[in-house]
Structure 1
Amino acid sequence: MGSARHFIRGAALALLALVAIGATAPKASAADGPLRIGYSDWPGWVAWQVAIDKGWFKESGVDVDFEWFDYSASMDAFGAGKIDAVTVTNGDTLVMGSGGSKGVMIMLTDYSNGNDMIIGKPGLKKLTDLKGKKVGLESGLVEHLLLLNGLKKAGMTDADVEIVNVKTNDTPQVLSDDAISAVGAWQPVAGQAMKGVPGAKPLYTSADQPGLIYDVVTVSPTSFAGRKDDWAKVMKVWDKVVAFITDPKTQPDAVKIMAARSGVPPEEYVRYLKGTKLLSLAEGAKVFKDADGFGSLYGSTRNADDFNVKAGVYKESQDVKSYIDPSLAGAK
């Protein structure tokens, strides 16, 4: 698995790219053509590969064309109108919109459930042990958000640590630096960092704050409005995917499919899958409620918006509601 995703994984760069190409709202696909969906290397999105390989979309009477991208490239493609929908985090949906590429979140695929983590060197047991120490992570990206969330819960702020801006892919080497006490990374990079420094361990992970990072299917408003029935069929296939992956009898087959798409051994992929909480449509519907807190897509996205502004990803807060359409999610 590469450094594919996440909120705002590569978001600042992606935003610059969207602006540079003069991105506009993506166009709808032809009424009789395939729905074009961009996906990338994160378990909650690679899960779609099961439906692709099994032919479930054809069985459901919907024509789709899934296109594989590096994460930032998928955002660029959406901004350029080359695809109708893209798998991104809720926070990155706002980032794309701020660059001129408005999208609506119509369904949830999962939330990060441990794959994102703050890793401390041997001897460090909790986040409070980082007081006055240096933490290496990519400023403005998801591990930055995760650290701030953890520090707040521990009664600390970012002023209590020194953040060293480091590319996520470089964190395994950086953790070996005597001057650095911890790093922020997501799997598989996080695992590489811990393997390189025996005794290093997670001090805080996304499993400690469920719903901090939601992964979604974001669709262009024109495609969603023009082909709502087709998007409803796509969403119904998702329930079949989740059931297949979570059933102990069929999970080995699912893992083989997902691991092959990601280019890693199945036994390794199982670990990544455990750090991702896949959400059925019914589970996702419960999150499509307008409330505060991380149990709500609205509340989580407002938190992402606040973070994006404070981190300088974009300048002004946005209307979160305009980015969410619960009409097909079954929310009550």
Structure 2
Amino acid sequence: MWLISKKTILFASLFFLISCKNDPPQTLRIAINPWPGYEVLHLAKEKGFFEQTGLNIELVRVASLADTQRVYLNNKVDGLTSTLIEAIQIQSFAVRPLTIALITDYSLGGDAIIAHKSITGITDLKGKTVGTEVSSLGIYVLQRGLQKHNLSLDDVTIKNVEQMSGIKEMNKGDISAFVTYPPISTELLKNPDYHVVFDSAKIPQEVVDIVSISQSYLKQHPETLEKLWQVWQLSYEFIQTHPDEAMTKMAKLEGLEVADFSDAFNNLEMQTGDTQAELISHDFLKSVTEQVCGTLWRIKSIDKPCGFVPSMFHKPLEQSK
């Protein structure tokens, strides 16, 4: 009996070790909101690029940038798509520290303030009600647009309006302008009564679109960053070599016509996977992040000064020792 038990135990132990070796990697759950640049992640998943690099990922679809913040802070996901603004706000809370894992693109006009044509420019917004998501990108774009024309947030009435409610609020006349981005901006501009009075092309490289991952996840899975960069490069190359297929697939996810999606995508300065290590560690990004954070601090969108910003950036193992 003893011999049989010993063999049984040995066999069971070997089986356990083999099983563990073949277990799939822990799922990385990323919250993703509608935005042309982020759809590259869905394209990568559909084409099998995550599987190809050994990265087990689940993309959790939500409605807006504010929603990506909420699900991340509520510990429902391991990471999120966002702009620098949302990432800075999350880091300021010091609840679930994150690391910037990927720069997807720079917005060169995709984020916009759209108003009724009776409002000919930003200065006409003085005394008017403007809709925006007050806890995310919108408040920053609005502040910068007003600042560019010697106005401030105190010169307008701000109404908190989620992206999915923006068209309804504009059509009812409850707001005079709305801060938005594709696909909502694309639909809104189909109404000939509306036009763009300010967009992110006027603040180049300030609206940086990124993917961030919790520091606790990356500590357990330090290989994730390089794998994610590999996936992004494969996707980037696929878009270059199969643009029609790529645009068609991504447009469907955004609920847009291919031509409309392509126009929106062309308002982005997409970044490659091969350059991510350099981009994320470069002083330029750190400087932009400090600048954006300083603005958020001045308009009271965060409740502490920006000493935490350096903690948002990945430190290679040899630098962190």
- Structure 1 and Structure 2 fold alike (TM over 0.5): yes
Distance 2:275 2:201 in 1: 17
TM-score (norm 1): 0.74
**Counterpart amino acid of residue 269 in structure 2:** K
SS of 1:195's partner is coil
Confirm whether residue 275 of structure 1 aligns to residue 270 of structure 2. Answer: no
Q: Which runs of 5+ in 1 are unaligned?
A: 1-30
Q: Answer yes or no: is 1:95 the counterpart of 2:89.
A: yes
Report if aligned partners of 1:140, 1:311 keep a CA contact under 8 Å in 2: no
| SS of structure 2 residue aligned to 1:67 | strand
> Bigger CA drift: 205-214 or 33-42?
33-42
CA distance in 1, matches of 2:161, 2:78: 30
Aligned partner of 1:58 among 51, 62, 72: 51
Q: Displacement of 1:264 after TM fit?
A: 3.9
Are the aligned partners of 2:30 and 2:60 in contact in 1 as well (CA < 8 Å)? yes
Identify the residue that residue 131 of structure 2 maps to in structure 1: 136
- Residue 148 to residue 324, structure 1, CA distance change in 2 (3 Å): same
How far did 1:151 drift? 2.3
Contact 1:194 1:201 in 2 (8 A): yes
Report the alpha carbon displacement of residue 135 of structure 1 after superposing the two structures with TM: 3.1
Identity of aligned residues (%): 20
Cα deviation digits, residues 145-192 of structure 1 (max 9, x gap): 112212222233334x32231414443344456685433222232233
State the TM-score, normalized to the length of structure 2.
0.77
1:228 aligns to what SS in structure 2? Answer: coil
Displacement after TM superposition at 1:139 (Å) = 3.3
Answering whether residue 247 of structure 2 is matched by residue 255 of structure 1, we say: yes
Aligned CA distance change for structure 1 residues 36 and 126 (closer, same or farther; 3 Å): same
CA distance in 2, matches of 1:101, 1:212: 24
Q: Determine the structure 1 residue equivalent to 2:229.
A: 235
Q: 1:49 aligns with which of 42, 46, 61?
A: 42
Find the residue that maps to 1:110 and give its secondary structure. Answer: strand
Q: 1:266 aligns with which of 254, 258, 261?
A: 258
Gap change, CA 1:226 and 1:107, over 3 Å in 2: same
Match for 2:226: what amino acid?
A
In the superposition, relative to structure 1, how do residues 174 and 211 fare at CA in structure 2: closer, same or farther (>3 Å)?
same
Corresponding residue pairs, total: 289
How many angstroms apart in 1 are the aligned matches of 2:101 and 2:173? 46
Q: Which residue number in structure 2 is paired with residue 34 of structure 1?
A: 26
Note the C-alpha offset of 1:92.
1.6
Instruction: State the 1:288 CA deviation.
Output: 3.3
Kindly provide the amino acid, as one letter, of the partner of residue 297 in structure 1.
Answer: L
CA distance in 1, matches of 2:70, 2:173: 38
Corresponding residue of 2:10: none
**Per the alignment, do residues 281 and 33 of structure 1 end up closer, same or farther by CA in structure 2, a change over 3 Å counting?**
closer
Q: Which protein shows a greater Rg? A: 2
Asked whether 1:301 is paired with 2:296, we answer no
Give the aligned residue type for 1:304.
V
Q: 1:320 aligns with which of 290, 303, 309?
A: 309
Asked if structure 2 preserves the Cα contact closer than 8 Å seen for 1:136 and 1:164, the reply is yes
Q: Tell me how far 1:219 sits from its aligned partner.
A: 1.7
Q: In 2, distance between residues paired with 1:126 and 1:286?
A: 39
Amino acid at match of 1:67: L
Say if 2:206 is the partner of 1:212. Answer: yes
For 1:65 and 1:287, the matched residues in 2 are separated by: 23
Q: 2:90 corresponds to which letter in structure 1? A: M
Using the alignment, how far apart are the partners of 2:69 and 2:173 within structure 1? 37
